[in-house]
C-alpha cells in the first residue's frame, strides 16, 4: 500500500491492528522471544539508561512510550526512575501492561487513535520512545512529525525498529547466521514442561493460558501488522528527512537482535558484531 492511505482503508487497518492486539495481549510476550529474552532486555535497559542520561530534565524525565503494547519499554523506564505515559491503540494491551506492572504512581496510560497524537500537548515530554511499532501505523512518517511536536526542545526521540537497511542486501554472513540459529533451535527446542512451569510462575501466566485456550483451533497468522512499504520495512532515510530540520541525530546504529531465550545465547554470542538486522536512532530536538 502507499504511504499516504485512503482514510477509510487506514481506519480499517487500524481497527484490525487494535482487534488483533486486544485478542493476543496476554500471549504477546510469549510470542515474541526476540524481544522478551534476557539478552535483548539487557540491551534495552543499558540503552534506555544511556538515553535518560542525555535528557536535560530537572527531576524525573517524562516519557511517552508510543505503541507501548504490554509494557516492554514502559517497565524499563519505570525501573530507571522515569514518569511514563504508555500509549497504544489497544485497550487490551494496556490492560495487560497495567496487570504486569502493578500500581505505579509514575505511570499513566493513553488510548491512541492510530493516526496522530491529537490531544497531546506540544513540547510536553522529555523523551518520546517507539520500539518496533511504526509498521502498525498507516502513515508512520506523519507520526514522526508528531514525535517532534510533542517532545520538548532539547528532548530525545528514540526509535528502535526492524529492520536495518543491510537486512535486504542478501548478506552471506547474515544468511549463515539464520541457518545456524534455525539448526540450533531444531536440536534444542524449549522443553514443554519447562515452558508450562515458566508460564505458571510468571506474573500473568494464568491469563496467558486462558487466552491460549480461547484461541485453540483458531490459527492467528499475524499480530495486526500493516505493510506500509514494500517488504514491510520502514524507510530509515525518510525518517531522517523528517527529523533533521528539527533535530540533531545523536546516534544511529545497527545491531543483531537476539532471538534465543537461553542466557548466555549460544548462536547470537558467535554472530553479534559480525552481522546486523535491526537499527536504533536517537535524536535531540533543537
The verdict on residue 69 lying in a domain is yes
Cell 517507539 -> residue: 130
More confident residue, 167 or 120: 120
Q: What is the pTM of this model?
A: 0.85
pLDDT, tens digit, for every residue of 134-152? 988 888 999 999 999 999 9
The verdict on residue 102 lying in a domain is yes
For residue 279, what are the domain limits?
Answer: 7-285
The verdict on residue 179 lying in a domain is yes
Average pLDDT, the chain: 84
Distance (Å, rounded) from C-alpha 205 to C-alpha 31? 13
Domains contained in the chain, number: 1
pLDDT of residue 190: 55
pLDDT, tens digit, for every residue of 33-79? 888 899 999 999 999 999 999 998 888 999 999 999 999 999 999 99
pLDDT of residue 21: 79
pLDDT band at 200 (very low <50, low <70, confident <90, very high): low
The verdict on residue 252 lying in a domain is yes
Most confidently modeled of 25-29, 84-88, 262-266? 84-88
Res. 219: pLDDT tops 70:
no
The verdict on residue 37 lying in a domain is yes
The verdict on residue 45 lying in a domain is yes
Distance (Å, rounded) from C-alpha 136 to C-alpha 226? 5
Q: What is the CATH number of the domain that holds 126?
A: 3.40.50.150
257-283 mean pLDDT: 94
- In what side-by-side order are the strands of the sheet with 247-255? 107-111, 83-88, 62-66, 125-131, 151-162, 278-285, 247-255
pLDDT, tens digit, for every residue of 93-132? 999 999 999 888 999 999 999 999 999 999 999 999 999 9
Distance (Å, rounded) from C-alpha 147 to C-alpha 157? 7
Distance (Å, rounded) from C-alpha 33 to C-alpha 37? 6
> Could you tell me if 23 and 93 are in contact, meaning their C-beta atoms sit under 8 angstroms apart?
no
The verdict on residue 2 lying in a domain is no
The verdict on residue 1 lying in a domain is no
Amino acid at each position: 500500500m502507499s504511504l499516504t492511505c485512503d482514510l477509510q482503508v487506514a481506519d480499517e487497518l487500524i481497527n484490525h491492528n487494535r482487534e488483533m492486539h486486544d485478542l493476543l495481549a496476554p500471549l504477546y510476550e510469549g510470542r515474541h522471544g526476540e524481544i522478551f529474552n534476557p539478552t535483548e532486555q539487557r540491551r534495552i535497559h543499558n540503552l534506555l539508561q544511556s538515553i535518560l542520561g542525555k535528557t536535560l530534565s530537572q527531576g524525573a524525565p517524562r516519557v511517552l512510550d508510543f505503541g507501548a503494547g504490554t509494557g516492554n519499554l514502559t517497565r524499563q523506564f519505570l525501573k530507571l526512575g522515569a514518569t511514563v505515559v504508555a500509549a497504544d491503540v489497544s485497550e487490551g494491551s494496556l490492560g495487560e501492561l497495567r496487570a504486569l506492572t502493578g500500581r505505579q504512581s509514575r505511570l499513566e496510560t493513553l488510548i491512541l487513535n492510530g493516526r496522530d497524537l491529537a490531544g497531546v500537548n506540544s513540547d510536553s515530554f522529555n523523551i518520546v520512545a517507539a520500539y518496533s511499532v511504526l509498521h502498525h501505523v498507516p502513515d508512520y512518517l506523519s507520526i514522526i512529525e508528531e514525535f517532534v511536536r510533542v517532545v520538548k526542545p532539547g528532548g530525545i526521540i528514540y526509535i528502535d525498529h526492524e529492520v536495518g537497511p543491510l537486512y535486504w542486501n542478501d548478506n552471506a554472513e547474515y544468511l549463515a547466521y539464520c541457518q545456524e540459529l534455525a539448526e540450533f533451535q531444531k536440536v534444542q527446542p524449549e522443553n514443554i514442561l519447562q515452558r508450562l512451569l515458566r508460564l505458571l510462575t510468571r506474573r500473568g501466566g494464568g491469563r496467558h493460558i486462558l487466552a491460549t485456550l480461547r484461541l485453540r483451533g483458531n490459527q492467528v497468522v499475524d499480530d495486526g501488522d500493516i505493510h506500509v512499504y514494500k517488504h514491510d520495512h520502514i524507510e530509515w532515510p525518510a525518517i531522517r528527512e523528517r527529523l533533521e530540520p528539527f533535530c540533531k541525530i545523536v546516534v544511529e546504529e545497527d545491531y543483531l537482535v537476539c532471538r534465543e531465550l537461553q542466557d548466555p545465547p549460544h548462536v547470537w554470542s558467535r554472530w553479534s558484531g559480525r552481522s546486523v538486522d535491526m537499527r536504533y536512532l536517537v535524536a535531540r530536538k533543537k
